């Protein structure tokens, strides 16, 4: 089922029942316009196949939010990761870990999304790190110099 969700306050409403794309709670309570994003309760692809899509699973342990990624992080899916990172930061995370182990492909927009996530976390005084990725994606992180700056330390 498709729903609309506010990244500011967390309100989720049915896609069909929504009167518009703006969060009614934020409009009334905070007198601000916050656009709702479309989310789904269904996995992006059945049976674990991830070619051509991005699957995201978020787990929360205390103030640590781990965002596990699988599939392709590219221009078609980067917005989904942006939304997940925004939700973690607005949800009070003090540490965000991107689990890159399932990423099969990443283009420059995926790389930009990872960098935007780092900047967003810094703005929220939140630690940000990545776990190692599969070899082709890890090579991109190494070639750009980001591996040493973002790789999560063991422990």
Q: Which stretches in the chain have pLDDT values below 70?
A: 1-11, 13-22, 28-52, 148, 151-155
* Residue 44 confidence (pLDDT): 41
Query: pTM score > 0.75 for this model?
Result: no
Tens-digit pLDDT profile for residues 130-139? 888 888 888 8
* Residue 154 confidence (pLDDT): 46
Q: Could you tell me the residue ranges of all domains in the chain?
A: 1-42, 44-150
Give the number of other Cβ atoms within 10 Å of residue 65's Cβ: 24
Range 44-150 has CATH code 3.40.50.740: no
Give the number of other Cβ atoms within 10 Å of residue 76's Cβ: 14
* Residue 36 confidence (pLDDT): 61
């Amino acid at each position: 089922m498709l729903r609309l969700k506010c990244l500011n306050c967390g309100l989720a409403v049915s896609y069909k029942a929504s009167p518009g794309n703006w969060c009614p709670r934020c409009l009334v309570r905070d007198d601000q316009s916050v656009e709702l994003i479309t989310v789904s309760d269904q996995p992006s692809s059945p049976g674990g196949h991830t070619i051509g899509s991005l699957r995201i699973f978020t787990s929360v342990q205390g103030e640590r939010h781990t965002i596990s990624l699988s599939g392709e992080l590219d221009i078609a899916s980067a917005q989904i990761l942006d939304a997940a990172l925004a939700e973690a930061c607005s949800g009070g995370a003090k540490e965000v870990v991107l689990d890159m182990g399932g990423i099969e492909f990443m283009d420059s927009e995926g790389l930009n999304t990872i960098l935007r996530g780092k900047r967003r976390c810094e703005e929220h005084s939140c630690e940000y790190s990545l776990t190692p990725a599969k070899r082709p994606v890890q090579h991109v992180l190494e070639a750009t110099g980001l591996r040493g700056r973002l790789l999560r330390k063991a422990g």
